[in-house]
Structure 1
Amino acid sequence: MDKHEFLYPRSTYYGKVTPEQLIFNANLQEFSTKVGYISSLETSGKLSSQDAYQQIKHLWKELKQSKKNLLPS
C-alpha cells in the first residue's frame, strides 16, 4: 500500500453504475476523508471548533452542489 492509498482510501462502489453515480461516490468518499481529518485536527487542539465547523460546512455545501449537478432529484 502506498502513501496515497493509505491517506485517501477508496471503497468499492456497489450502486447503479453510471458516470454520475461514480463521480458523486468519489466526492462523497473525499468529503468523508476530509471531515475525518478536520475532526482529528480539532480534537487534537490544532484547529478551533469554529474553524472546524466552518470548514465542514463549506465541504458540505460543495457536496450538496455536486449532488445537485450530478444526480437527478
Structure 2
Amino acid sequence: MTESNRIIKENFIYPRSRYYGQITPENLLFNANLQEFSQKITYISCLETSGKLSPDEAYRQIKKIWKQLKKSKKELGITPNTNGM
C-alpha cells in the first residue's frame, strides 16, 4: 500500500473535522479527544447493534471512555469560561 493510499484509508476510517472554536492548545487537544470519543462511541454502538457486544458490555465501555473524556477536560482546564462564548 502506498503512503497516499494509507492516508486516504486512515482519513476514511478516522475522520477528523476542522476546529472552529477559540484556538488554544488545550481546546485543540480536547477537540481531538472529543472526536476520538465520538468515533469510539460509534464503533461500540455498531458492535452492540449487530449483537457482537452485549448491552451491558457496551454500557461499560461507554462509561469508561466517558470518564476518560471528563478527566481530560478537567486536566486541560476546560471550563465554560474558556470556550470563547
Q: 1:20 aligns with which of 11, 18, 26?
A: 26
The structure number with the bigger radius of gyration is 2
TM-score (norm 1): 0.95
Q: Is the 8 A contact 1:21 1:71 kept in 2?
A: no
Q: CA deviation at 1:72?
A: 4.0
Give unmatched runs, 5+ long, in structure 1: none
Please, what is the CA RMSD of the aligned residues? 1.0
Residues 72, 26 of structure 1: alpha-carbon distance in 2 compared, 3 angstrom cutoff: closer
Q: 1:36 aligns with which of 39, 42, 45?
A: 42
TM-score (norm 2): 0.82
Give unmatched runs, 5+ long, in structure 2: 1-6, 80-85
Amino acid corresponding to residue 16 of structure 2 in structure 1:
R
Runs of 4+, deviation exceeding 4 Å: none
